[in-house]
Structures are given as structure tokens and as C-alpha cells.
Chains A and B, each alone.
Chain A
Amino acid sequence: MNTTAPNSTASAAPGPRATRSRGTGTRFTRGLGIATIVAFAALGLFGLVLSPADVQQGESVRILYVHVGTVWVAYMAFVVTAVSSAAYLWRRTRSLTWDRIAGASAEIGVLFMAVTLFTGALWGRISWGTFWVWDARVTTTAFLFITYVGYLAVRGLGGTHEQRARRSAVVALLAVLEIPLVHFSVRLWRSVHQDASVAGRGDVTLDGLMLFTLLLGVVAFTMMYVWFVLHRQRVLMLADLVDDRGLDDALAERRREAQEVQR
């Protein structure tokens, strides 16, 4: 049976490699993937067409339906990364699976954080007249983004899987220490230098359909997140396995060479 994961166009014919061409999908992820596509289609429909314009914000409120979804997923992803990193470091639950979940989660977190900053800047341009404000929430988000870009760089440093796992887990937990400090210091800084923060003006009065669309966005992006982490974590596992096998093959070859030399 072929993978019919979302967004894929290729469906390789079951030939000689039928037993191996499964990819990383299961029945559950396939179902989840289809549901995700449906949810995103509905989000586009409700967000762009069916929901009304806001009384105060006008049409720009439509941006929030995707913005809130991505920011929710991004922050959730970083919480998951921190928790799985702690689970890896705790001896009794130590398993590379936790490390891979942390890595997969951080990847999607970084991507959605970038999307969040982008959509937020466009929304800010419409509502506040400026792409960027030095508000504590916005600045913390940017720092979170940079910090986890660094985290992904640490993951790519090489070494054994265990080295990678321990190093990156420690970095993820240090980020948990860093981010509240950044948030607090930026808040203190702005409260000294500026009048009230701009962010308060973004308050939206929601009618039923708008609230529904907002929740739909959150649900759609959350389903996407779960789907992605499941797949990506399996891909990372395969990558580790291929890596190990490459090492084993190289060792076997060296041994063969040595035997030939002896003869």
C-alpha cells in the first residue's frame, strides 16, 4: 500500500521494492493528514470569505486567523521541545526518541515563528502603521526565534547521536532560562522609555463566526503540528539508522581490507 500523505503527488507503483516503499506514514497519520487538509480548506473559506470584517480593524482581522494559529503552534512547539529535552536528560526516561521529538518540534517551531513574525509585521503595518514595535511580546518572540535557530545549529554539530542529544537538550533547557529574562528585561525597558505598550490596542471584539474561525485556525495548525512531528520524528530516526549503517559498512570494509593485507 502506498503512502497517501497530504501534499504528495508521487505514488510509486508497488514493484520490487513494495515492502520498503512505505515512507513514514501510517493509517493514523494519513487520516490526520486528510483531516488537516480539510481543516485548512475550511480555514481559507471562513477566514477569507465567510467571516465578516471587524468593526474596528476592518479586513485586517482576517490576518489574525492565521497569525494566532501559527503563534500558538510555535510556542507550543518550544514547550514540547523543552519538555522532551528534560525527558531525555532525566536518566529514567532517557531515550533518543525524546531527542528526535524535541528536534522535530523545534524545526516546526522555528518555521512557524518566522511565519508569525512575518504575518505579525504585515498586520502591524495595517493596524499600527508600522512593521515593528519594540513591545515585550514581539521582541521576546524574535529572541525565541533566534535562540531556536541556534538550537538547530547545535543539533547539526555532528558527533554521536548521544552527544547531539545531550548537547541540544542542555541548550533547550538553557533557553527556558533565557526567554523569561529577555521578556522581563524588555518589558522593564519599555516601561521606562515609552508610554503604554502598543499591543493593548489590538484587542478585538469577536462575534460568533469570528471566534469560530479563530478556533478553526488554532485547530488546523495544531493538527498540522501533530502530523508533522510524527512524520519528522520518524524521518530523523531513519536518518540516524542510515547513519549508523553507514558506519557499520565502513567498519566492515576496513576489517575486510585488514584481512586481505594479512593474507
Chain B
Amino acid sequence: MWRTARLIAAKDLRVEGRSRVVVNQVLPFAGLVMVLFAFVLDSDAVLTRVAPGLIWLATVFGLLVMVQRSFAVETADGALDALRVAGVDPVGIFLGKSLALAAQLVVLETLLAGLAFVLYGVESSGAGIVLLVTTMIPATAGLAFVGTLYGGLAAGVKGRETLLPLLLFPVVAPVLIGATRATEAALDASGVATADGWPWVALLAVFAALFGVGGALAFGSLIEE
């Protein structure tokens, strides 16, 4: 199972390394979203205040595009069917694709957080940075699990581009709430003490654990048809 997961993840990252879709298209898109937020909100004070929310909102938009890319690769030449027919463990596929997605998400989140520091002028302390990095781990895991799960569900059906956000966004709401509040505590602007962020990290961890287990159980029956 773990070996399958590692192979699948390596394959996905190699596909990305060759095609550079995420690097050349998704990351610029997410950066663009951050710039557009600055246009509409139009005030430095407001921007620093809402920066944590914008980081995670842009992350979720990026997640949507990445998930669609991740499963477009699988369905294009019937690759997913081939894997299934070959008897590859679906739990391994689920973990592998989640892992590859998580790796790409980490790059995206780092970029977005960096942009928030540069563009929105947010500031942070040492303890804040520790909290920010710790927040990213369970938040990324949760987003990757949910993205893979619903991406697999929508893979290969007509109208998946429009269906996926409808299914995905309600589910990621707890991540959006938790990660935003934790990031708010990590950054100085909002006046929330850094220590107040840690309960939210716990919530994110619970979310990631539940959807990790639930996804591993459900993924098999979603892709076998």
C-alpha cells in the first residue's frame, strides 16, 4: 500500500515536472487572485486585517484547479481504469494522489503566504511563524484528502468542472475557518494572541484524520465502476 502510494505520488510529481502546469498556470493564477483582492479591497488597513482569509481562500481556489488537473491526467487515456484493472490497491492510489496534491499545495501556500507578506505588508513574530508552518501541515493534509476524494468521484463524468466546486467547497469550509483563524493568530495585524491559534490547529488535525480515514475507505468504491 505504502509502496503503491509512493509510486503514484512520484508519478504525479514527474508528470508535473515535465508538463509544469501547476508551476506555469496554477501558481500565477493564485498570485493573480491575491493581486485582484488588493484591487477590490483597496485599503492597506483592511488588507492586513483580512490577509489570513485571503491566503486560504486563494489556496482553496488553487486546490480546485489542481484537483481537476490531477484527475484530468488520470482519465485522459483511461489511466485510472488501467490502474484498477491491474488490481492496484485503491487505498494506495488515494494516498499517493493525496501526497502529490499535498506537495503541490505546500508550494502554493508558501507562495501565497510570501505574497501576503510582500503585497499586504503583514508582519509576524518567531512564534507566529512556527504556528503558521504548523497550521499548514494539517490544513494541507485535510485539503489534499478531500480534494482527492471528491476529485475521484467527479473523475470521468460529464459536467465535472461545474460539479466539483459544488461538492468540494462546503466540505472544506471547516478547513477554511480553522486555517484562517490560526493564521490570524500567527500574524500580528489582527490583535489575536498567538497562543489562541493552537486550538484551531487541533481542529484541522481532526479534520485531516477523519477525511484521511474516511477517504481511504470510500475511495475504492468511488472509482470502481
Contact = CB atoms under 8 A, between A and B. Distances in A.
A–B contact (CB under 8 angstroms)? yes
Interface of A: 89, 143, 146-147, 149-150, 153-154, 157-159, 163, 166-167, 170-171, 173-174, 177-178, 181-182, 184-186, 188-189, 192
B221 interface: yes
Contacts of A184: 174, 203
A97 B159 CA distance: 27
Contacts of B111: none
Q: Which of A89, A147, A150, A173 has the most CB of B within 10 A?
A: A150
A185 B166 contact: no
B218 A170 contact: yes
A99 to B, nearest CB: 13
Contacts of A189: 177, 181
A170 B177 CA distance: 25
Interface residues of B, number: 28
Given A163-B225, A177-B214, A178-B171, A170 B166 contact: no
A184 B200 CA distance: 11
12 contacts: A146-B166, A150-B166, A153-B163, A153-B166, A157-B159, A170-B153, A173-B218, A174-B214, A174-B218, A181-B210, A185-B173, A185-B178
Nearest to B210: A177
Contact of A170 (B158, B178, B207, B221): B221
B221 to A, nearest CB: 6
B199 A188 contact: yes
Interface string B186-217: 00000000001001100100110011001000
Given A166-B221, A170-B222, A174-B149, A186 B177 contact: yes
Contacts of A188: 177, 199-200, 203
Contacts of B87: none
Contacts of A178: 170-171
B125 to A, nearest CB: 20
B167 interface: yes
Given A158-B157, A177-B214, A167 B173 contact: no
B210 A89 contact: no
Contacts of B159: 157
The 4 closest A-B pairs by CB, nearest first: A185-B174, A150-B167, A181-B174, A185-B177
B170 A147 contact: yes
Contact of A192 (B157, B170, B181): B181
Nearest to A148: B170
Interface string B20-34: 000000000000000
B171 A174 contact: yes
B173 A159 contact: no
Q: Which of B158, B170, B196 has the most CB of A within 10 A?
A: B170
Interface string B161-188: 0010011001101100110010000000
